[in-house]
Chain A
Amino acid sequence: MPTPNTPLWEVFIRSRNGLAHKHVGSLHASDATLALQAARDIYTRRGEGLSIWVVPSNAITASDPSEKGMMFEPAESKIYRHPTFYDVPDEVGHM
């Protein structure tokens, strides 16, 4: 008999206060409490974290890479959104 699947979780860790949580990996656990404990035991053994999020992997909705053009390329031409688009005379100094 094949081994039944245990739900998969994605783990996010805040390494220092002031930083955002960052995806560090995944694990298997039957519920959220065990997932959080496992995340602590697996991903913070070397003092990597101050805060942990665990999210069921199937709760993540991801963009489709094949729609990359439609999703992301239109932003590339909007160069006026970036400060370097604008000329400020050198005499003005840092702005």
Chain B
Amino acid sequence: MYTQALNSSDGDDRGIEDAARAAAFQARIDDDERIEPNDWMPAAYRKTLTRQISQHAHSEIVGMLPEGNWITRAPSLRRKAALLAKVQDECGHGLYLYAAAETLGTSREELVDLMLSGKAKYSSIFNYPTLTWADIGTIGWLVDGAAIMNQIPLCRCSYGPYARAMIRVCKEESFHQRQGFEIMVTLCRGTEEQKAMAQDALNRWWWPVLMMFGPPDKVSQHSDTSTKWKIKRFSNDELRQKFVDATVPQAQFLGLTIPDPGMTQNESGNWVYSEIDWAEFNQVLAGNGPCNRERLAARRKAHDDGAWVREAAAAYAEKRKARLLAQAAE
């Protein structure tokens, strides 16, 4: 779901590419043609996409953890089924995205190893803890809401397998945000305690969610190449503004207060938010968020604990192949 903050590219090693092929490639992009796995592409395009798609995939997989934290405590069977289905979807989305990244020539295992070793990034939003049930509502409402803003343009991304994966993801995710908002509506119509729980969750998640869109345009590097290659179609600030404008009326409907006393509406109707604390964003990105270590540790544990299972399946497949060969030889 969540890639905007991670956009970056390697526009610099383009000098080594054959200029004519690069020009033809750019012409195809400009013509809105899709690039497919076996097509020639600049090394930097391949590298940028591999990184962006795999970071997107890592985000889906790590993103299972904060919400997964509440599956066993969901307060009704209906909520439990919906949450399990939602977190399962995120696993599926990670899987589709790794598959899209693999078409660029790096195996899923290698990409996952990069994440587990801490070398690859994932969306910083998942380094925040889910403390109450209202966090599950808030994640669906805001985190998935932000993700949708981000992902819809990616359905038209120039790289075919990524665009196709995103179409599938967007289709499946259409229930995620509604699921979260419904939880919020229920809490806000509930007891005083429940309403306070909802407000508290909004207070904690609001600013990290705005950070999901990535650094402000004035300092965002590399966007130019990604835009030129039609990997990215809107700037970080454009998407962030769109999200804020869509969300403020929803918060008003819920009777919740956005934790930004300085927020005003300008004459064109846009909600102008206060300065974002980018120092916090940079700290979380650098590994110092409240849950960075736990998230990685949980993923590593699942990976390590599963090693003997994967080995068993591989060993069995080898044995079966050998048996079939032996049978055929008889």
Q: Residues of A with Cβ closer than 8 Å to B? A: 2-6, 8, 24-31, 34, 42, 45-46, 62, 64-66
Contact = CB atoms under 8 A, between A and B. Distances in A.
Interface string B20-54: 00000000000000001011100000000000000
Contacts of B307: 3
A27 B38 contact: no
Nearest to A57: B102
The A interface, classified by DSSP as helix, strand, loop or mixed, is loop
The 7 nearest A-B residue pairs measured at CB: A30-B313, A26-B99, A3-B109, A31-B317, A30-B317, A65-B39, A30-B314
Contact of B113 (A3, A45, A46): A3
A25 B303 CA distance: 23
A25 to B, nearest CB: 6
Nearest to B314: A30
A4 B317 contact: no
B61 to A, nearest CB: 14
Nearest to A26: B99
A6 B310 contact: yes
Contacts of B172: 46
19 contacts: A2-B110, A3-B109, A3-B112, A3-B113, A5-B107, A5-B109, A6-B313, A6-B314, A25-B165, A26-B99, A30-B310, A31-B317, A31-B320, A34-B313, A42-B92, A42-B95, A45-B88, A45-B92, A64-B38
A31 B102 contact: no
B102 A65 contact: no
B56 to A, nearest CB: 15
B96 interface: yes
A30 B314 CA distance: 5
Contact of A6 (B88, B109, B320): B109
Contacts of B99: 8, 25-27
Given A42-B92, A65-B39, A2 B313 contact: no
Residue picked from A24, A25, A34, A65, most chain B C-beta under 10 Å? A25
Contacts of B113: 2-3
A58 B310 CA distance: 20
Contacts of B102: 8, 26
B316 A30 contact: yes
B108 interface: yes
Contacts of B168: 24-25
B48 to A, nearest CB: 20
A94 to B, nearest CB: 36
Given A3-B303, A46-B172, A64-B38, A25 B96 contact: yes
A19 to B, nearest CB: 18
Contact of B36 (A24, A25, A65): A65
Contacts of A66: 40
Interface in B68-105: 88, 92, 95-96, 99, 102
A4 B110 CA distance: 9
Contacts of B96: 25
B108 A28 contact: yes
Nearest to A10: B99
Contacts of A26: 99, 102
A42 B92 CA distance: 6
A33 B251 CA distance: 49
A6 B96 CA distance: 16
A34 B310 CA distance: 12
A73 to B, nearest CB: 16
A3 B111 CA distance: 10
Given A42-B95, A65-B40, A31 B110 contact: no
